[in-house]
Amino acid sequence: MKTIFESRYAIGPQESKTLDTAGLRKNFLIEKLFDADQIHFVYTHYDRYMAGGAMPVSGKIKLDTIPELLKEEYFLSRRELGIINVGGKGSVEVDGTVYELDYKEALYIGKGNKEIFFSSEDAQKPAKFYMNSTPAHRSFPTKKVTKETAIKKELGTLETANHRTINQMLLNTVLETCQLQMGMTELQPGSVWNTMPAHTHDRRMEVYFYFEVPQEQSVCHFMGQPDETRHIWMQNDQAVISPPWSIHSGAGTSNYTFIWGMAGENLDYDDMDKVAINDLK
């Protein structure tokens, strides 16, 4: 099995202003993450972040290196990996140790682990392993995190359509990582806005993965500099790259859930430059 991958170069805010809808989607939207018995990855040059998906159906699939891209003997030779299962029950085998992951459970795998396999318990309800990977200079222990062991924060209100639960899962306050941090935000019924008030953080970038978007519903993801915002319409199981100079906010035609992943030199979750709602343009 060969990993399907794409490499995207980083662009700045001035170039992004010149893009039409197709150009924005080509540079920032990740439309396809899951195919039966395949692994997909997009490598972005913003902090050399990788976002991908693995969906084992007929048997185990292996996370191999990507010679023409990573040029390393194995995938985690110089990287760390975060995984959140957004499908049926499955398992991840890490150098012979098996970790079972149910729906919305997470796994952190540190630098230096050589053999990673993915499998599903039921081929009719396959696991869908959403993955984020970043460069790593140290090795930290592999650790599973559930919603029960995550740090939870309740934010927003139904009156402002942004009542949501933030599950901090692969965060430095939960476990040790080099730079990768991941979590999951669940919007309550009747709420549609995420990451509002909006913000930027110049020392780290993010990738948002939207799921639990009901059929025939969509999410409008907002990006760009605070005084010149743009938008990308997104469907279920799609991800979007957020550069450090860009806001990253969204509103759906229904409530939904999204996974946020971050990387950079800044591990302080609350270190951000907030933008007042009335100042957005």
Tens digit of each residue's pLDDT (9 = 90 or more) over 243-259? 999 999 999 999 999 99
What are φ and ψ of residue 90, in 5° steps?
-155, -170
Domain for residue 280, yes or no?
A: no
Residue 21 is given by DSSP the state H
Can you point out the beta strands (E) in 12-163? 29-30, 39-44, 49-54, 61-62, 79-85, 90-94, 97-101, 106-109, 116-120, 129-135, 143-145, 151-155
Least confident of 26-30, 103-107, 202-206: 202-206
Confidence of residue 265 (pLDDT cuts 50, 70, 90): confident
Domain for residue 277, yes or no?
A: no
Instruction: Calculate mean pLDDT across residues 17-34.
Output: 97
For residues 160 and 234, give the distance between their C-alpha atoms in angstroms, rounded to a whole number.
22
Contact, 258 vs 208, CB < 8 A? yes
Average pLDDT value for the chain: 96
Confidence of residue 271 (pLDDT cuts 50, 70, 90): confident
Tokens standing for residue 89: 């029950």
Confidence of residue 272 (pLDDT cuts 50, 70, 90): confident
Domain hosting residue 79, numbered range: 2-272
Task: Please enumerate, by residue number, every residue annotated as part of a binding site for Zn(2+).
Answer: 199, 201, 206, 248
Please say if the pLDDT value at position 1 is more than 80.
no
Tokens standing for residue 26: 């080509």
Please say if the pLDDT value at position 226 is more than 90.
yes
More confident residue, 110 or 269: 110
Nearby residues of 142 by Cβ (< 8 Å), 6 or more positions away = 94, 97, 99, 107, 108, 109, 110, 113
Looking at residue 270, what is its pLDDT?
76
Least confident of 79-88, 187-196, 235-244, 263-272: 263-272
Q: Which tens digits make up the pLDDT trace of 77-102?
A: 999 999 999 999 999 999 999 999 99
Confidence of residue 149 (pLDDT cuts 50, 70, 90): very high
Contact, 207 vs 171, CB < 8 A? no
Domain for residue 203, yes or no?
A: yes
Q: Which tens digits make up the pLDDT trace of 36-46?
A: 999 999 999 99
Q: What's the structural domain count of the chain?
A: 1
- No. of helices (H) and no. of strands (E), the chain: 2, 24
Task: Please enumerate, by residue number, every residue annotated as part of a binding site.
Answer: 199, 201, 206, 248
Please say if the pLDDT value at position 2 is more than 90.
no
What are φ and ψ of residue 97, in 5° steps?
-95, 130
Instruction: Calculate mean pLDDT across residues 164-174.
Output: 96
4-8 and 39-44 strand pairing: parallel
Q: What is the CATH number of the domain that holds 230?
A: 2.60.120.10
Nearby residues of 16 by Cβ (< 8 Å), 6 or more positions away = 24, 27, 224, 230, 243, 246
Looking at residue 164, what is its pLDDT?
97
Least confident of 88-97, 121-130, 266-275: 266-275
Confidence of residue 273 (pLDDT cuts 50, 70, 90): confident
Please say if the pLDDT value at position 269 is more than 90.
no
Nearby residues of 185 by Cβ (< 8 Å), 6 or more positions away = 164, 165, 166, 167, 194, 257, 258, 259, 260
What are φ and ψ of residue 40, in 5° steps?
-115, 140
